[in-house]
Amino acid sequence: MQIQDLPYPDPGVPDARSGSRFLWWLFRNQLGGQLKSLAWGLLHFLSISALPFCVGVAVQAVVDHSGRRLALAGGLLVLCCIGSALGDTFLHRSAVTNWITAAARVQQLLAHKAANLGSALTRRVAAGEVVAVSTGDVEKIGWFVEAWSRFTAAAVTIVVVCAGMVVYQPQLGVLVAVGLPVLALAALPLLPRATRRADFQREKAGRATELASDTVAGLRVLRGIGGEELFLDRYRRASQEVRHAAVRSARMWSLIAAIQVLLPGLLLIAVVWYGVHLARQGRVEIGELVAVYSSVMILSYPLRHFEEIAMAYSFSRPSATRAARVLSLERAMSAEGSRDRAGDSLPAGDLYDPATGLLAPSGRLTAVVCGDPDAAGLLAERLGGHPSEEGTSVLLGGVPLDELPLGSARTAVLVQDKDPVLLSGTLRELLDVPASGAVGAEEALAAAQCADVLAALVQGSLGAEDPMDARITERGRSLSGGQRQRLALARSLFTDPEVLVLDEPTSAVDSHTEARIAQGVRDLRAGRTTVVFTSSPLLLDHADRVVLVHEGEVAAVGVHRDLARKEPRYRAVVTRETDEEAALNGVLNELEEIEETA
């Protein structure tokens, strides 16, 4: 594959059982690119390694006053230089291609996994870890994939040169052939400690990234409660821990690098000393001594790739482990699993959750009251067909959502979280989402009461006369919480799915606006199935059907006014009444029932 082929039509199914298996899977999927890089690497390294032999032939030709051999040596030097230049150029090109394509494949896999899991992803993995994997970890994984072919070419070159020197000059060649493997493997005893330190550094860096991500996401709240400095101090401490861990890791790698410099120097001294001894005895010619000496010097270049591959693996293995942990997450589904129904049309009908007994009749506005906000969020995810925990599948028109392809399930049922995300861009781009076409942008914005939001966007965007061209900042930070909620609601209404699930869509909106939104949603979604998780009486009063979910089960069903009068658990959630008020209301209700009976 080439860079121009990105993104991949299908990035494949990764082996996410471990970090090492994931790296091996990446390598196998780029075997063609690796072989190409290996070929160019061999051309480059072997051309460089042949230079000393050419120089040795030239020196000996001068000593022997042989013009023919000198010309031959000159021609070989030219060929070696051309081979080295071509090999280096295309080795770099192919190696970088391997790096970029590997990183792009991993990013595609992560993006598909995030789309597959939806909001359940951040419930199972920290958001900061996902950010760290999709940025820095991807680069380190690509580094190892890129470095592997160069390391293989360097290793093959060393073996070939050692064999060549044994044939060319057996007495000195044996010394080099014995010494070079020792140099290549000398750093192995230090690698476990270096790897542990690198893992510790990655762990500290990931923790600091998570802390920074959480701090930035909640900065407005932190400023409101005066906790900004507290979290900044925590981040400073975390960053200092990262710095100390990086220094300790760098010390170990600097020791390995020093060994890679010291030992070749000692081998070079040994070769020169022994070679001079042999030359004085007439057992080695000057040209042969120069060739062997130069070869030892040049072989220090491919030897560096042994250190590089060790560093690349030490840094990429924990990154690959984190990536594999994210990629191993699966969409929770029923025990029967998911069956392919791609050829079927989208189901329609009542939405029913067997686990809680919640029923949302087709074409009706159903409000769900749940005293636990976290439980409400999990139930909303279940209704959308992508729960964070395994269980019995939700049914839409009698069809389990788990049996539908993920795209079909999300087309049929759209879930808007209580904290929706607004991406940066224009309002037109915000509403550039898959939609039925039955609801226009103006209708959706009007139903969500976004008139003042549009005015604020136009005022904050220079040169934007059309509100649709007004720009929205990252995550809508320039807007208030209520304004962000209304824009997100307008986007969901514009999509116009068969079933729309809204989790606290007006929690940050004032009561007057909330009442108009309740009427707008009811009118715009007429004939469509809508489920709203809320405890607001204004929304509950506009619902066709109100369901109370208590301790994971449906406890009462009715309309708002009847439930508020007859159901104390419902009243406790909606009106926030105290125990004393609940007892008094219970007595009054009993008296009313006695009067009605009499």
Q: Which residues pair with 471 in a beta bridge?
A: 426
d(CA 55, CA 61): 10
**DSSP per-residue codes, 300-347:** HHHHHHHHHHHHHHHHHHHHHHHHHHHHT------TT-----TTSPPP
Q: Is 353 left (phi over 0), alpha (psi -120 to 50) or beta?
A: beta
Q: Which of 162, 191, 174 has the alpha carbon at shortest distance from 312?
A: 191
d(CA 526, CA 346): 20
Asked if omega into 537 is within 30° of 0 (cis), the reply is no
CB atoms within 10 A of CB 530: 24
HEC letters along 278-297: HHHCCCCCHHHHHHHHHHHH
Q: Which of 51, 56, 60 has the alpha carbon at shortest distance from 79?
A: 51
Q: Which of 442, 414, 393 has the alpha carbon at shortest distance from 528?
A: 414
The pLDDT tens digits along the chain (598 residues) read: 567 677 888 888 899 888 889 989 988 888 888 999 999 999 998 888 888 888 888 888 888 888 888 888 888 889 989 998 999 999 999 988 988 988 889 989 988 888 777 766 766 776 666 777 877 788 888 888 888 888 999 889 888 888 887 887 788 778 878 887 777 777 778 877 887 887 788 778 777 877 776 666 666 555 666 666 777 788 888 888 889 988 988 888 888 888 877 887 888 888 788 878 787 877 777 777 777 777 777 777 887 888 788 888 877 888 888 888 888 887 665 434 444 444 456 788 899 999 899 999 999 999 999 988 888 888 888 888 777 677 788 899 888 888 887 778 888 899 988 877 888 888 888 888 888 889 999 999 999 999 888 888 888 777 677 888 888 887 777 788 888 899 999 999 999 999 999 999 988 888 899 999 999 999 999 999 999 999 999 999 999 999 999 988 999 999 999 998 888 889 888 886 544 454 545 545 555 555 556 5
Torsion of CA 484, 485, 488, 494, to 10 degrees: -120
Q: Distance of alpha carbon 544 from its chain centroid, rounded?
A: 42
Q: Which residues pair with 557 in a beta bridge?
A: 547
Enter the pTM of the model: 0.67
CA 230, 235, 240, 242 dihedral sign is positive
Residue count (the chain): 598
| DSSP code, position 137 | I
